[in-house]
Amino acid sequence: MTRTLDLRERFNKALMPTYDDYAPEVALSHGKGCRVTDLDGHEYLDLAAGLAASVVGHAHPDVVAAMTAQAGQLIHTSNQYCHEREVELAERIQRMLDPTGTTDSRVFFCNSGAEASEAALKFVRRQRPDRPVVVAAADAFHGRTMGALALAGVPSVRDAYAPYVFEIRFVPFGDAEALAGAVRDDTAAVFLEPIQGEAGVVRPPDGYLAAARRICDAAGAMFVLDEVQSGIGRTGRWFAHQFEDARPDVMTLSKGLAGGLPIGACVSIGDYADGLQVGQHGSTFGGNPVSCAAALAVLDVIERDHLMDNAVTVGDELAAGITSIGHPLVAGVRGRGLWRGLVLTEPLGVQVSEAAKAAGFLISAVRTQAIRISPPLILASEEAGEFVGALPGILDAAAAG
Ligand SMILES: *Cc1c(COP(=O)(O)O)cnc(C)c1O
- pLDDT tops 90 at residue 121: yes
Quote the ligand 1 centre to 331 CA distance (angstroms): 27
Say what the pLDDT of residue 112 is.
Answer: 98
Structural domains for the chain: 3-59+306-400 (3.90.1150.10), 74-304 (3.40.640.10)
Q: Is 245's pLDDT higher than 90?
A: yes
Task: Note the pLDDT tens digit of each residue in 63-91.
Answer: 999 999 999 999 999 999 999 999 999 99
Q: Whose CA is nearest to atom 15 of ligand 1?
A: 229
pLDDT for 319-354, tens place per residue? 999 999 999 999 999 999 999 999 999 999 999 999
By C-alpha distance, which of 111, 115, 164, 108 is closest to 136? 164
The count of other CB atoms within 10 Å of the CB of residue 37 is: 15
Helix, strand, or coil here: 303?
A: helix
Q: Which atom of ligand 1 is nearest to the CA of 148?
A: 10
**pTM metric for this prediction:** 0.98
Residues with CB under 6 A from ligand 1: 112-114, 117, 141-143, 193, 197-198, 226, 228-229, 254-255
274 contacts 268 by C-beta, under 8 angstroms: yes
Question: Burial letters for 40-75: b for 16+ Cβ neighbours within 10 Å, e otherwise?
Answer: eeeebbbbbbbbbbbbbbbebebbeebbeebeeeee
- CA 280 – CA 93 distance, rounded (Å): 22
Nearest to 194 by CA among 337, 370, 364: 337
**Ligand 1 centroid from CA 63, angstroms:** 22
pLDDT interval class at 19 (50, 70, 90): confident
The three-point CA angle 341-346-350 to 5° equals 65
Name the residue of 111, 253, 255 whose CB sits within 8 Å of the most ligand 1 atoms, as the mutation to test its pocket.
255
Q: Which of 55, 141, 149 has most ligand 1 atoms within 8 Å of CB, for mutation?
A: 141
Distance (angstroms) between ligand 1 centre and the Cα of 189 equals 19
